[in-house]
Chains A and B, each alone.
Chain A
């Protein structure tokens, strides 16, 4: 497998701290190793893509910005799309976080930075070796949209969509007329009349949304109304519910739509700063709550327009592709016990009764990994976070040269844990003192629910002094119940730790969110200090 390792100087932010030439020299067997000034400069991007194409690379490691930067910045994901366009499978792109988690926190200690940089690049390369390709599902996108909430924003969105030639279903929980009709009667009346008369639109009141399954461009929606249960097929979904009036409905919808929420329970897009309407589901857009909730009609309208643009962009293209981040099943080992069926929150696991084997529904699987961990045989694996890769990473991180008197493996969930570590790292850039303690070695996992008890034991076995899990606050888990499952498993695991005379206090859970960088910094420092005290005593 032809592999490329690209290292970014980040215009000096990385190269001032890490000797990239020395780092690059440590990989003589990697097919292509290249140092670039900045992954997000036009010239450097051209060079990177040319290397991928000319060398027919099948796997690419990007050592520079945090992987979350590509997800959360306005257009970072476009670079990944272009790399994939050169023939690299999306699951064959790996990241080494040299900027936020190495260079920024270790500006004052280059020795630590150099050791960590090498370890994180090693982890990225091992991921490329151990992760297989993911498949794509294709759809010719359906030319219809479901709008949730007959609010000002919802109806404006409906009107825009209709004008673009799309069919629209508006689902509303309340009875007619909804509050907004009365409150904004003057501005809204013409829109309501136009939509109600439009033969391509249907407004359904007193309705309950029961289920959504599918992929971007092809969703099947089940709902109940006064007329009974019904199923419709749509290409995209716009969420225009009002937090003020419909907090209960939002709470009911959240697990079905899998939209993230903030501390107050308001819907939150993928990144409120840069991606105001996108959610992690490519086909579902949300009217930003601060705009929907504004008393000014212009904000509601602008929010609706933004959501419509997001959805229309892919609906009006000929074809839509969605990567399938699913779990897979080793049919030689699966005996059809059904544990995965009871574990999955999204009803993505069933047992094929003719073969007695677990089957994954790619249209429902969110790639959270809970079923993979719950599988009592180990027959399941998560394509985007393979078990072998995690075990190998534990070993790689454990064998890094010592940089502190203790070492702590910090599993960090992709939702809040890992981005929070990035936030801690960035604090180091501003205030110069070590923000992420040297003793902390992070390992990104898909979700708290992906934390297998076996990983924790393996970490202790590899002589980690402590194991930390940095994860979302309760109620904010992106996969809704990932943290709940983790808690249950760890409560039982502590019995095993005690039986082995491993102090259960060496296993720590830290709940955080990306806005709490300063608090997490303190907690990490306290954690390392606690672990140091525990390990200084007798009897590990």
Chain B
């Protein structure tokens, strides 16, 4: 029986998901025995051919992304959205809070180190007005969020799909995987747990065992889906929300606001630099307002 053909591609992404895939390391040698690689940018093959399963990293942000993605959909039996950008739009999706001309001006003219900047008009693929996740452009067969997804998870999803069935992904929030201790959060007494909010780097000492919210540090863990293993938390940094929202929430940004208003002093939260960026860092393109919309008269 012919070996299954798998392929990968990256669109607007940082290639981090591919690096996570490569972190399989020696497992790749085993994998090579089980599958054929139709094409992958890692091997510098960039034309789209027929494949059984194609992993696509990155969001759709320019016209080339869109063309490639549609070709991939046509020629692949299954398309897997690999990583948060592909599933939720990712950090790059934050540009949806600006119109494209503002983005270009900010990037090419207004950056502090630019002298006499000019927005270029070269022969490069045109940027789309808005950044979109894959599912806004094509039907996606499987979504694997993460920034990047865990190497083990990529491996088990790949081999699961090849075997004809993959386990359902876990659905709780990150508190399920987090090993930190919650004390004050569990006392049935209404009230703020602390009277100030700080960034992790502002603490004298970051307690490695205590819940971040109880240290007054904003952690996106409660509003974020599990599945990453809580690596950042184990690394003594709070969660930033890269796995995206849980299935019961409509979006992360509002849920952050709704939940924090009860437990951390909202007045202090308002003085955080960027509530919007914090709440929507990875998932703006799949939120209730995925981009700027001008109501009367349609999109600008």
Whether A332 contacts B171 by the Cβ 8 Å rule is yes
Per-residue interface assignment for chain A, residues 23 to 54, with 1 indicating a CB less than 8 Å from any chain B CB and 0 otherwise: 00000000000000000000000000000000
> Is A188 an interface residue when CB atoms closer than 8 A count as contact?
no
A462 to chain B, nearest CB (A): 10
Whether A488 contacts B296 by the Cβ 8 Å rule is no
Contact (A463, B190) CB under 8 Å given A339-B262, A379-B248, A457-B289: no
Partner of A491, one of B222, B266, B288: B266
Whether A496 contacts B275 by the Cβ 8 Å rule is yes
Whether A488 contacts B288 by the Cβ 8 Å rule is no
Contact (A344, B188) CB under 8 Å given A332-B171, A496-B253: yes
A-side contacts of B248, CB under 8 Å: 330, 333, 377-379
> Once the chains are docked, how many angstroms separate the CA of A540 from the CA of B245?
28
Whether B296 contacts A454 by the Cβ 8 Å rule is no
- Near A by CB (< 8 A), chain B positions 268-300 give 269-270, 275-276, 279, 288-289, 292-296
A342, A350, A465: most-surrounded residue (chain B CB, <10 A): A342
Partner of A492, one of B185, B275, B296: B275
A377, A378, A463, A481: most-surrounded residue (chain B CB, <10 A): A377
Whether B226 contacts A335 by the Cβ 8 Å rule is yes
B-side contacts of A282, CB under 8 Å: none
Size of chain B's interface in residues, with CB distance under 8 A? 52
A485 to chain B, nearest CB (A): 6
> Is A104 an interface residue when CB atoms closer than 8 A count as contact?
no
> Is B250 an interface residue when CB atoms closer than 8 A count as contact?
yes
B279, closest chain A residue (CB): A496
Contact (A375, B259) CB under 8 Å given A457-B254, A500-B289: yes
Contact (A495, B275) CB under 8 Å given A333-B247, A344-B190, A377-B222: yes
Whether B250 contacts A378 by the Cβ 8 Å rule is yes
> Is B110 an interface residue when CB atoms closer than 8 A count as contact?
no
Contact (A496, B176) CB under 8 Å given A335-B226, A374-B262, A378-B248: no
> Is B246 an interface residue when CB atoms closer than 8 A count as contact?
yes
Whether A337 contacts B175 by the Cβ 8 Å rule is yes
Partner of A540, one of B176, B221, B275, B295: B295
Contact (A489, B188) CB under 8 Å given A336-B175, A376-B249: no
B190, B260, B262: most-surrounded residue (chain A CB, <10 A): B262
Whether A347 contacts B256 by the Cβ 8 Å rule is no
B-side contacts of A202, CB under 8 Å: none
A-side contacts of B246, CB under 8 Å: 333, 377-379
> Is B114 an interface residue when CB atoms closer than 8 A count as contact?
no
> Is A322 an interface residue when CB atoms closer than 8 A count as contact?
no
> Is B4 an interface residue when CB atoms closer than 8 A count as contact?
no
- Near B by CB (< 8 A), chain A positions 327-374 give 330, 332-339, 341-345, 347, 349-351, 353, 356, 370, 373-374
B-side contacts of A135, CB under 8 Å: none
> Is B2 an interface residue when CB atoms closer than 8 A count as contact?
no
Whether A481 contacts B222 by the Cβ 8 Å rule is no
> Once the chains are docked, how many angstroms separate the CA of A334 from the CA of B250?
15
Whether B191 contacts A496 by the Cβ 8 Å rule is no
B238 to chain A, nearest CB (A): 13
Partner of B258, one of A342, A376, A539: A376
Partner of B276, one of A335, A370, A496: A496
Per-residue interface assignment for chain A, residues 480 to 502, with 1 indicating a CB less than 8 Å from any chain B CB and 0 otherwise: 01000100110111011001110
Contact (A335, B253) CB under 8 Å given A377-B223, A379-B246, A540-B296: no
Whether A337 contacts B182 by the Cβ 8 Å rule is yes
> Is B189 an interface residue when CB atoms closer than 8 A count as contact?
yes
Name the interface size band of chain A.
35 or more
> Is B56 an interface residue when CB atoms closer than 8 A count as contact?
no
Contact (A335, B289) CB under 8 Å given A492-B269, A495-B270: no
Partner of B185, one of A337, A347, A452, A458: A337
B-side contacts of A375, CB under 8 Å: 255, 258-259
B-side contacts of A457, CB under 8 Å: 251, 254, 288-289
Contact (A378, B262) CB under 8 Å given A342-B193, A492-B270: no
A-side contacts of B187, CB under 8 Å: 341-342
A353, A463, A499, A501: most-surrounded residue (chain B CB, <10 A): A499
Contact (A335, B257) CB under 8 Å given A351-B186, A499-B276: no
Whether B188 contacts A500 by the Cβ 8 Å rule is no
> Once the chains are docked, how many angstroms separate the CA of A336 from the CA of B176?
7
Contact (A495, B276) CB under 8 Å given A334-B172, A341-B186, A378-B246: yes
A-side contacts of B288, CB under 8 Å: 454, 457-458, 461
> Once the chains are docked, how many angstroms separate the CA of A343 from the CA of B288?
24
A-side contacts of B251, CB under 8 Å: 454, 457
Contact (A454, B250) CB under 8 Å given A341-B186, A492-B275, A500-B289: yes
> Is B51 an interface residue when CB atoms closer than 8 A count as contact?
no
Whether B275 contacts A342 by the Cβ 8 Å rule is no
- Near B by CB (< 8 A), chain A positions 199-222 give none
> Is A271 an interface residue when CB atoms closer than 8 A count as contact?
no
> Once the chains are docked, how many angstroms separate the CA of A378 from the CA of B222?
10
A388 to chain B, nearest CB (A): 10
A-side contacts of B193, CB under 8 Å: 342
Contact (A374, B259) CB under 8 Å given A333-B173, A337-B185, A492-B269: yes
Whether B247 contacts A335 by the Cβ 8 Å rule is no
Per-residue interface assignment for chain B, residues 217 to 234, with 1 indicating a CB less than 8 Å from any chain A CB and 0 otherwise: 000011100100000000
A356, closest chain B residue (CB): B176
> Once the chains are docked, how many angstroms separate the CA of A485 from the CA of B186?
19
> Is B263 an interface residue when CB atoms closer than 8 A count as contact?
yes
What residues make up the interface of B, taking CB atoms closer than 8 Å to A?
97, 171-176, 182, 184-191, 193, 221-223, 226, 245-251, 253-263, 266, 269-270, 275-276, 279, 288-289, 292-296
> Could you list some 12 contacts between A and B, CB below 8 A?
A333-B248, A347-B190, A349-B188, A374-B261, A376-B173, A454-B254, A461-B289, A485-B261, A488-B266, A489-B261, A500-B292, A540-B295
Q: Sorted from nearest, which 9 A-B pairs have the closest CB atoms?
A: A338-B185, A378-B248, A378-B249, A335-B175, A488-B261, A376-B222, A488-B266, A376-B259, A335-B176
Can you add 13 more A-B contacts, CB < 8 Å, to A377-B173, A501-B294? A335-B175, A337-B185, A349-B188, A351-B186, A376-B173, A377-B248, A378-B246, A489-B257, A491-B270, A492-B261, A492-B269, A492-B275, A495-B270
